[in-house]
Amino acid sequence: MDWRKRLAELERRRNLFLRISIALFFAYGVSVLVLNIDNGSFNPQREPVLLLKLPQKYRMGECVPLPEVVAFEVNRHRRNLFRDIEDSVVPMVGRKNIREAGDREIQLPPMISPAKRMFGPGKEADVERPFPRNLLTSEAMSRIVVMEKYNFLFCPVAGAASRALKAFLNRIDNNPEYLDVDKLDSGLLTLSNFSLRDRERFLTGRALKKVVFVRNPYERFASIYLHANSTHDELKYQEFMARVRGRKVDEDVASKTVVMSGLRTLNQVVTQLSKFVSEPHKMDQLFWPAASLCIADEVRYDFVGRADLLEEEVHRLKQTLGLPDYSLPTREQLQISPQKTQERMEELYANSSAKKRVFKLMQKDFVAFDFPR
């Protein structure tokens, strides 16, 4: 019996040695032929495959020490996460398209254990299931802001004080240009700056709180409409109308007279958008429900703030997360003209069919966030 145990132990050690040797071989080969290593580290931007498979804590554009890559490789071998060589964290020699790398990555089984999660505030799932991997490469990853310093994620929603909240986040992040409305996004990190594994970890783990501010769908839709109609910039209005039609702006530039005519009332706008009810993916994301924008049916949000009570809710957020006691920027500072949305609600929804259509478009928000119909 002793010789059998010894033989099994020798076999186990031999397999481990082979796996480590393979990992080191590929790491060395890549370092010599592809990655152009400087001082024992490499820049992941030079190899797109690695952008989606960085070890935890590293972001796109940062140099990762070679020993950490090798350690990560060996760890994946031990956990039997490899299906073939192409699944390796160390990229193969040659250029690979980042989209192809992403497609290959999302086909792997999730690294997390299936966990019971929530569907909107207070709505518990009936079954346990893993986080859908295809969402890790969706456009939501470019929207959800990561505030590493304060340990929370924030999903901005157009028409729900998103500009004021982005400016506030830039300010607590010590960005001197926090009032520059054209640079509100440039100073903030989003999930798209992280590897797929970190995105999954952030969205499913409890280390980072998830924050979203929402607004009554009727008011939010009216606010978006009024903001577009209050602009004196014809190009911006033209862009809005192109988005209503589900087109790109440049498609309508040549036919300005067509764009500027018609669809002037809220009812006309929502009637046009109703054409996308059966094909919501074709509708511009400006008009998507907050639940869809922020994948609220898969992500459990710890803090759901109300945009109509912005000052009070931001104060509550600062107390909950221990944020610096900065005040929100004013409308004048953000160059936002007063819209008086509340006062004009009755006028805008005088046509009852407009309200019914908005409800149909935003139905997910009424369910997910318990707004009154």
Rg of the chain over CA atoms, in angstroms? 25
| Closest residue by Cα to residue 67 from 109, 93, 39 | 39
Cα distance between residue 107 and residue 103, in whole Å = 7
- Residue listed under structure tokens 């964290």: 89
User: pTM higher than 0.75 for the full model?
Assistant: no
- 3-state secondary structure (DSSP) of residue 338: coil
CB 73 within 8 Å of CB 89: yes
Cα 175 to Cα 318: distance, rounded to the nearest angstrom: 18
Answer for the pair 26, 73: CB distance below 8 angstroms, yes or no. yes
Position 69, amino acid: V
Token couple for 317: 């957020």
H/E run at residue 55: none
> The tokens of 363 are what?
């139905």
Residue 280 burial (C-beta neighbours within 10 Å; 0-12, 13-18, 19+): middle
Bridging pattern class, strands 303-306 and 209-214: parallel
Q: What are the pLDDT tens digits along the chain (373 aa)?
A: 566 777 777 777 777 776 776 666 665 554 443 444 444 444 444 443 344 455 555 665 566 666 666 666 666 555 554 433 344 444 433 344 444 554 554 454 444 433 333 444 444 444 445 778 888 888 899 999 999 899 999 999 999 999 899 999 999 988 888 877 667 677 788 998 888 888 888 998 888 999 999 999 999 998 888 887 776 666 777 777 888 887 766 554 545 544 444 457 888 888 888 888 778 878 888 889 999 999 998 899 999 999 999 999 999 999 999 999 998 888 878 777 666 777 788 888 888 888 999 999 999 999 999 888 8
